[in-house]
Amino acid sequence: MTFILLRVTFNKLFFAVCGLANLNSRIVGGQNALPGSWPWQVSLQSSYHFCGGSLINNQWVLTAAHCFPSRSASGVNAVLGLQSLQGSNPNRVSRTIKTVIVHPNYNSGTQNNDIALLQLSSPVTFNNYITPVCLPSTGSTFYSGVKTWVTGWGDIGNGGQLEIQIPIVGNRRCKCSYGASSITDNMMCAGLLAGGKDSCQGDSGGPLVIKQNNRWIQAGVVSFGNGCAEPDFPGVYTRVSRYQTWINTQITTNKPGFIAVTSTGTDSDLSVSCPRVLPVA
């Protein structure tokens, strides 16, 4: 009985702290992020940064399956509290990776189920620069046009952490660009149809987040796209809300905090049609 009570207490603890970014005092797109703005952001590094990730409790990181094609994390470090890939990082914390769990139905050809979990070698301590992000529960809705933010250290040249504000692009509209069979219900899209803002190489595995009631919730995992910031081709992300059961099955203690995300109004994506996508009956 004592064990059960302790487990419930810890689960409530992670729910209480997830998605809080105490130092996130500004919201702008396409500029370098201030230290502590995105405290769940993880840099996955071998001899160099190769993918992003997000901290979801004190010992687990969420990332993309395609970041670990060999399903091995030998020689890989998860670096937290990092502001820049270059220079001084006083809040830096590094862990090796104990376990890699790639989704069993991941398809490297289609990128369906492009999601993986990494167990750190030891827990990290939370502070203003290292905090877990919340996750969206099953059935969460993300209507077309909802504002999101994507963060990471992709192809931006100066090594600083970048934050970009982009809207959700509904799956029907996204299928008009990529083809109906290329975008599954396990995916979501975000970006400007005019181009110019997008995640890019090096951002893979990183978080796409939204803010709801002062909590930051990870809607997507950076997965793939047609180039970077190309017109008419928004970025494609793994839809995290589809994986609550799978995540909770893998993480048996200290479960991440899940929050239901509800979009208000009417989803404009339902009115989208194109030669590849038939109108809603």
Catalytic residue among 204, 223, 241, 269: 204
CA gap 93, 122 in Å, rounded? 11
Task: Please indicate whether residue 274 or residue 228 has the higher confidence score (pLDDT).
Answer: 274
pLDDT in tens, 233-261: 899 999 999 999 999 999 999 999 999 99
pLDDT in tens, 5-41: 333 333 455 567 899 988 775 444 445 667 778 999 9
For residue 200, name the pLDDT band (cuts at 50, 70, 90).
low
Average confidence (pLDDT) over 154-183: 82
Per-residue pLDDT, 112: 98
CA gap 230, 233 in Å, rounded? 6
Per-residue pLDDT, 1: 34
Per-residue pLDDT, 141: 97
pLDDT in tens, 117-163: 999 999 999 999 999 999 999 999 999 999 999 988 765 544 556 77
CA gap 159, 234 in Å, rounded? 24
Contact 218, 52 (CB under 8 A): no
Q: String of b and e for 112-133 (b: at least 16 CB within 10 Å)?
A: bbbbbbbbbeeebebeebbbbb
pLDDT in tens, 59-109: 999 999 999 999 899 999 999 998 788 778 899 999 999 999 999 999 999
Active site residue 155: no
Per-residue pLDDT, 33: 65
Per-residue pLDDT, 102: 98
CA dihedral (186, 136, 220, 242) in degrees, to 10, reads -10
Catalytic residue among 37, 66, 103, 140: 66
Catalytic residue among 43, 54, 114, 140: 114
Domains and CATH numbers, the chain: 27-262 (2.40.10.10)
Active site residue 103: no
- Structure token digits, residue 53: 């990730």
Contact 218, 97 (CB under 8 A): no
Contact 172, 98 (CB under 8 A): no
Q: What DSSP line would sit under 179-229, residue for residue?
A: -TTTS-TTEEEES-TT-S----TT-TT-EEEEEETTEEEEEEEEEE-SSSS
Active site residue 185: no
